[in-house]
Amino acid sequence: MTITASRAGLRAHLGRTLWLRSAYTLTALPAALASLTGAPMQASLAQRLLGVEPKRTGRFPTIVHALLSLPLNVVSLLLVGYAWSIVVLNLLYPGRWLIGMGGTLDDAWGGPTLAGAWAVHALGGLVMLALMPVILKALTALHTRLPVGVLGGTMGR
């Protein structure tokens, strides 16, 4: 029973919603820039990935929504991009040398052995991975309130 409950909790924690929210926060800025022309790119992205149902569509509300969301989109892209890079680079710590980020293990956290450095960095990557659903839920909550406030409609995931 405990194993089943923990698997279900892990699946919910790292499941489809996490990836949909990540996809939205990483693509919302380009969609908002495209929406400045009046094409409802960001509203349709929010509808597909976050489940937000906008009521009003039209050129003016779309442009207003795109303008108002630009600062949040920039912050979201930078924060989520940086957080995912922490997860990947720390979990795949030995791969840093393949992309030119290597160095000596003498001054690495957990060094002077590769196993110790990898263990310490992987722990940091796992902590950030555990925080990603919380970060993404907070950011997408802000992202879903904005189109509902500007365009009307109903909240999503």
Is the pLDDT assigned to residue 60 strictly greater than 60? yes
Specify the pTM: 0.75
- What distances in angstroms separate CA 71 from CA 14, 29, 96, 117, 155, one per listed residue? 27, 9, 32, 37, 21
Number of domains, the chain: 1
Residue 130's pLDDT is 92
Residue 11's pLDDT is 59
Residue 152's pLDDT is 60
C-alpha span between 105 and 151 (Å, rounded): 53
Residues contacting residue 52 through CB under 8 Å, at least 6 positions apart: 43, 46, 144, 147, 148, 153, 154, 155, 156
Q: Which domain holds residue 26?
A: 2-154
Residue 16's pLDDT is 82
Over the chain, what is the mean pLDDT? 80
Q: Which range (3-12, 28-37, 65-74) has the least confidence?
A: 3-12
Is the pLDDT assigned to residue 79 strictly greater than 80? yes
